[in-house]
Structure 1
Amino acid sequence: MTAIVVTLATAIVTAACTTGLTGAAAVDDRPRFADQEAGDRVVVATTFTILADMARRVGGDRVRVESVTTPGADVHQYEPSVDDLKRVEGADLVVSNGLGMDDWLLRFIDGTDARHVVTSEGVDPLPVRSGNYTGRPNPHAWMSPDEGTRYIRTIALALADLDPDGADEYLDRAETYVAELDDLASRARAAVAEVPEERRVLVTCEGAFSYLARDLGLEELYLWPVNSESQGLPRQVTALIDEVRDREIPAVFCESTVSDAAMQQVASETGSRVAGLLYVDSLSAPSGPVPTYLDLLDHDLEIITRELTS
């Protein structure tokens, strides 16, 4: 199989010093595939940390998984560096989100013979509701536990096809994983049912919670629709201030990969409060609050429901 890194390194030779939108948010000194023996394990490369965690959980000891982006990075319009792409050297399977979020990957794997699976395949996408991306698919489908089950099963089927000897293991682990996700979703719905109806409004920096809001019966408000657009423009801030003040929304939120300065202004001018840091596009480091996908959803849902009822 042609090593992915050969094509990737050639494609980005002039961009060796680029970083993601958030800059060098996290220094990652984990060993690279090139420095290790994968043995008989399937080598999986993913575009961001949440997909990597899903693949590790489904794949178990039969796979070695690496993410192009590191904890703390914003995957929107990410520009991989040479060091980023060394992490995916020799991958047998490439896993991406799709829905326009990580299309930057496509120009690097074009021409290779690596298998590529898009985890959002089959998702009925919700549209972006405002801004330059109006009408395009909202890419954050994994924030819905219901859609997350689709991601997990898609990864399991791709691994089973690539490694038939491990197919039963992959599919069994996927169903155990899905059961845990279903339980988390049930608990979240019960918690939201305790939130007074007039307070079931989720206000965030990025419009990344559309799928989750749909599942839980929350109304979604935000400053900007997608992180790749201008963030915290005066008109965005003013419009949200009016909404939060008029509706007496008690708590607003921001995400870990962006500045909360604009949302702090919303809070200070309305008497609301920035109630907690939510995670969307990236897991934390292993020692942080959301080292896994299940931890991310549990963390966000606990903060949202607690703060909307307090």
Structure 2
Amino acid sequence: MTGPATRRRLLAASLALPALLALPALPARAQAPKRVVATFTVLADMAQNVAGEAVLVESLTRPGAEIHDYEPTPLDVVRARAADLVLWNGMGLERWFERFFSRAGNTRQAVLTEGITPIGIGEGPYANQPNPHAWMSPTLALVYVENIRKALSELDPANATTFAANAERYSGQIRAVDARMRESLARLPADRRVLASCEGAFSYLTRDYGLREAYLWPINSEDEGSPRQIRAMIDTVRRSRVPAVFCESTVNDRPMRQVAREAGARYGGALFVDSLTPDDGPAPTYLKLLEANAEVILRGLLGTQAPR
């Protein structure tokens, strides 16, 4: 037999049960977004455009960093191990990466130059090895975008449709920049179509736009701006009557400024290759990098930019 207190508790429970059943089900705990790490800022920007808000993307290197001989920190190892995916360029660009990645555990990885036929480096200790700067060609950047889409879709199949739509939109933007660059660089007369830079990082760009390439050193390394390299470039600039010379933003431009002085050319300014700039700089995104470079090249070679 139950007492009055027990009967009251049972009655209250029976009255509350319909109200509890009418409450909406609690949502399942939201799944944390996947984390992707890219080896440098250009790749991170490309990946973010494909990922949109579905994936968190970050760069191991900061804006303005030189990528070839980057020295990974212990924190970089931690970040890579914590990531769900690491994106890297390959073709020997990140010479530090294989050693670094061996310490990053079993993190998934993707090489973004997969499927690209490389241009070989013409001289120096890396002769005949792939020139790694394939992203400097907007046409080949489309291969990067597709490789990013595939890697993200395999990582996060639930958002594959989003990645495909973002990749299509971003590829259209790259094609539009490419068309504008072709139109603007076509204005260069035949005798001013030599792109002289510090590093041989523009092989893919010069091939795309019908320019000739000259450089102080073939790839950033410990041998940069030697007397022999400077003398050879001075001779090239004089012989070809190159009106302006350039240097990459992440290396010392002093050797190229010496070339300009001694060869009677202008120093045309900095070009962006291995790194984006901070948001307030001229190349905070990959698309802006391409546009900024085309503008500097055009102004320098047409003589509409005063030497600095």
Aligned to 1:264: 257
Question: Which protein is bigger by CA-based radius of gyration?
Answer: 2
Q: For 1:196-207, list aligned pairs within 5 A.
A: 196-207=189-200
* Structure 2 Cα separation of the partners of residues 63 and 205 of structure 1: 36
Q: How has the CA–CA distance of structure 1 residues 253 and 39 changed in structure 2, closer, same or farther, with 3 Å as cutoff?
A: farther
Q: For 1:178-217, list aligned pairs within 5 A.
A: 178-217=171-210
Cα deviations by residue, 1:250-300 (Å, 9 ceiling, x for unpaired): 110001111111001100011111111111000111221111111111100
Aligned to 1:16: none
- Note if contact 1:132-1:229 (Cα within 8 Å) is conserved in structure 2: no
- RMSD (CA atoms): 1.4
Q: For 1:249-288, list aligned pairs within 5 A.
A: 249-288=242-281
Aligned to 2:227: 234
Question: Would you say 1:55 and 2:47 are equivalent positions?
Answer: yes
Cα deviations by residue, 1:38-86 (Å, 9 ceiling, x for unpaired): 9521100111111111111110111111111111111103220123334
* Structure 1 Cα separation of the partners of residues 101 and 250 of structure 2: 26
Secondary structure class of the residue paired with 1:84: helix
TM superposition shift of 1:205: 0.3
TM superposition shift of 1:187: 1.2
Aligned to 1:28: none
Question: Would you say 1:99 and 2:91 are equivalent positions?
Answer: yes
* Structure 2 Cα separation of the partners of residues 62 and 103 of structure 1: 30
* Structure 1 Cα separation of the partners of residues 249 and 267 of structure 2: 13
Aligned to 1:69: 61
Unaligned runs of 5+ in 2: 1-29, 304-308
9, 23, 34: which one aligns with 1:42 = 34
Aligned to 2:138: 145
TM superposition shift of 1:105: 2.0
Number of aligned positions between the proteins: 273
Q: Which amino acid in 2 is paired with 1:281?
A: D
Unaligned runs of 5+ in 1: 1-37
Percent of residue pairs bearing the same amino acid type: 49
* Structure 2 Cα separation of the partners of residues 59 and 299 of structure 1: 24
- Note if contact 2:271-2:293 (Cα within 8 Å) is conserved in structure 1: yes
Aligned to 1:164: 157
Q: Which amino acid in 1 is paired with 2:123?
A: S
- Note if contact 1:66-1:87 (Cα within 8 Å) is conserved in structure 2: no
Q: Normalising by structure 2, report the TM-score.
A: 0.86
TM superposition shift of 1:89: 4.5
TM superposition shift of 1:302: 1.3
Q: Which amino acid in 1 is paired with 2:207?
A: R
Q: Normalising by structure 1, report the TM-score.
A: 0.85
